Amino acid sequence: MCGIVGYVGEKKLVPILLEGLHCLEYRGYDSSGIAIHEGQSLNVIKAVGKISKLEEVLNVNGNSTNGKNGSVHCGIGHTRWATHGEPTEINAHPHFDTEENIAVVHNGIIRNYIEVKEKLIKEGTVFKSQTDTEVVVQLIAYNFKQSKSILKAICKSVNELEGSYALAILFKSEHNKIYAVRKESPLVIGIGKKENYLASDTPTLSRFVDKAARLLDNEIAELSKKEVVFYNFKGKKIKKKILRISKSKDILDKRGFKHYLAKEINEQSEVVLTLLQELLPSAEKSVQLDYLKLEPKFLKEVDRILILACGTAYHAGLVGKHVIEKLTSIPVEVQFASEYLNSASLLTKKSLIVGISQSGETADTIAAIKKAISSGATLIGITNRPDSALADMAKNHLIVSRSGVEVSVAATKTFTTQMLVLYLLAVYISETINHEPSTINLLKKELRQLPQLIDQTLAKSEFYQEQIVKYASSKDFVFIGRGINYPIALEAALKLKELSYIHASGYASGEMKHGPIAVLDRGVPVVSIIVPGETYERVIQNSLEAKSRKAPMIAVAVDGDKKVDGIFDTVLHIPPVSEILSPFLTVIPMQFLSYYIAEHLGRDVDQPRNLAKSVTVE
């Protein structure tokens, strides 16, 4: 959950490291730091808080860190989401060994760090921080003293470490080299002319270069200005495939919006259109997922589908369950990835696993998928990141959700594309096994209308803002929905909590009377999601029960619904839409509700406290 960056070349170093760190700030923003070769020494500069704090420190010390006459050309940087030890300067990366000969930045978790630390303490090593990372650098230093060879010291150390790690390492004795190591945490090498880079993700590298090589597990890279040499963990040279990437500065462009979050909410019609053009170019054609090579015979015999995901991706999975079951009659179960690890696996070779993860690197999801595929079931991966661990695991059964980079920590447009992929997967399976052809043809026509409907909903954002901010002083919110909109109630509550820090719960509306209704009073707004269809009357009935308890009542309902207008204090209208497609629209006023309330309360909407976008710890 941390971000790491590195540069070796002829350009000014510090601005490059800072630019890279800004791109990676979504991965954590508790503290940051850089280590650079300067003259004969290694220099480490750190600050607690966001990258802007590090910039302040660097401006104060500007002359020494930008290098004299461009002499500094090699350095590494880190942005941290704290796991071991509080976000203090001592715990911030880079970490030095005792003699300050080696500096290390790390993304991941060292599982056996206590054992290794005890061993090193017995050998006389004195530790300064509470982090697992300091163990890495002290171990490398210890092994370097024994072997006198950098590569041997790294190989010996990684063979002693258990856990996940992407490391960038500087040695004082090697002025213009960075060593990079990967095991189960992402790390990409950017290849330039007379310069080379490393970063935790490809979009960051795409700001600087158009060629990259992904380090795979148990691989090491030695970067100098001239070249990158790759090794395995035995220290043997290996060949790597160099990939073309499109050079782009887009990742940090807010496109005129005040926040990335606002930009990303507003991009939803665009990303839906992109995905439809790719996978459903016309309502008359079948869904373009043939490349998955799932044979009709196999799909006809699928005994169950298990969806594994966390957070917002889990909510997309819950919507997907409704659609897949309706269109294919195959039973679908959705589990929190973290919970699946503790449950009995009932999968068979005839089962399908659908792993959903925006980042493709959420540790819980990856671990759950590893357990699930051991049953011999087939994995379909849905991710926004084709260069991720999930993409590697899914191989040919991968569906990329094509949302573009999502910078804001709160997921919005990627939720929408995850849902859309699940709808298209449901249609694909249904078409392949020839189930419900008439429903499918109608649904495909409606899906093609989505970009327009989403645009019409987004156009109401100012109206939503006017209606919503008066509720910003509430200390608690309740969201209710039924059927396919129950997951939207859950997603709305999650979004409000993470953005505004106001407590919120999502309930299946029928469950309110079984307990949660006790929390209602004048101070707890109830937000009901009510769209015409099977669930309409019952959600109204459950809302009336809440109204009788004096709760302020807000509805998300379609334009022209007079019945709803007459019952609720505030109605957030959406364009008329069929119940099955309604989640794509009902989620939008919920996203704006969370955004505008959080902004009104002065929250950091793009980087809420305590969170990180990629959660790479279990």
Residues contributing to the site for ligand M6R (CB under 6 A):
310-313, 357-359, 362, 365, 409-411, 498, 614-615
Task: Give the nearest residue (CB) to ligand M6R.
Answer: 311
Cβ neighbours of residue 240 closer than 8 Å, sequence gap 6 or more: 213, 219, 230
- State the residue for tokens 């970063």: 199
Taking the least distance from each CB to ligand M6R, the nearer of 209 and 262 is 262
CB of 413: closest distance to ligand M6R in angstroms?
11
CB of 281: closest distance to ligand M6R in angstroms?
27
- The token pair at 561 is 């619904």
Q: Do the strands 219-223 and 178-183 form a parallel or antiparallel pair, or are they unpaired? A: antiparallel
- State the residue for tokens 């002359």: 63
As a whole number of Å, the CA-based R_g of the chain is: 26
CB of 310: closest distance to ligand M6R in angstroms?
4
Query: Rounded to the nearest 10 degrees, what angle do helices 583-600 and 437-458 cross at?
Result: 20
What is the spatial distance between Cα 562 and Cα 291, in angstroms, rounded to a whole number? Answer: 47
Taking the least distance from each CB to ligand M6R, the nearer of 312 and 457 is 312
Taking the least distance from each CB to ligand M6R, the nearer of 332 and 615 is 615
Closest CA to 333 of 311, 353, 313: 353
Residue 240 annotated among the catalytic residues of the structure: no
Q: Please provide the DSSP assignment of 48-76 as one string.
A: ESSHHHHHHHHHHTHHHHS-GGG---EEE
Task: State how far the alpha carbon of 439 is from the alpha carbons of 88, 140, 327, 329, 430, in Å.
Answer: 57, 62, 8, 13, 10
SS3 398: strand
Closest CA to 359 of 587, 197, 201: 201
- The token pair at 94 is 């880079």
Taking the least distance from each CB to ligand M6R, the nearer of 332 and 612 is 612
Other CB atoms within 10 A of residue 523 CB = 13
CB of 384: closest distance to ligand M6R in angstroms?
8
Taking the least distance from each CB to ligand M6R, the nearer of 353 and 517 is 353
Q: Considering 46, 183, 497, 613, which one is annotated as catalytic? A: 613
CB of 6: closest distance to ligand M6R in angstroms?
24
Taking the least distance from each CB to ligand M6R, the nearer of 408 and 457 is 408
SS3 567: helix
Indicate the helix (H) or strand (E) that contains 355: strand 352-357
- CA 598, 601, 606, 607 dihedral sign is negative
Taking the least distance from each CB to ligand M6R, the nearer of 43 and 412 is 412
Strand partners of residue 198: 6, 189
CB of 7: closest distance to ligand M6R in angstroms?
27
Query: Rounded to the nearest 10 degrees, what angle do helices 113-122 and 133-147 cross at?
Result: 50
Stated length of the chain = 618
- Full strand arrangement of the beta sheet holding 526-530: 503-508, 476-481, 526-530, 553-558, 570-574
The Cα diameter of the chain in Å comes to: 80
CB of 241: closest distance to ligand M6R in angstroms?
25
Taking the least distance from each CB to ligand M6R, the nearer of 315 and 322 is 315
CB of 362: closest distance to ligand M6R in angstroms?
3
Taking the least distance from each CB to ligand M6R, the nearer of 543 and 616 is 616
Residue 247 annotated among the catalytic residues of the structure: no
Burial 50-84 (b: 16+ CB within 10 A, else e): bbeebbebbeeeeeebbbeeeebbbbbbbbbbbbb
Other CB atoms within 10 A of residue 544 CB = 12
CB of 316: closest distance to ligand M6R in angstroms?
9
Q: Considering 2, 23, 74, 310, which one is annotated as catalytic? A: 2
Query: What is the phi/psi pair of residue 434, to 5°?
Result: 60, 50
User: Which amino acids are annotated catalytic?
Assistant: 2, 613
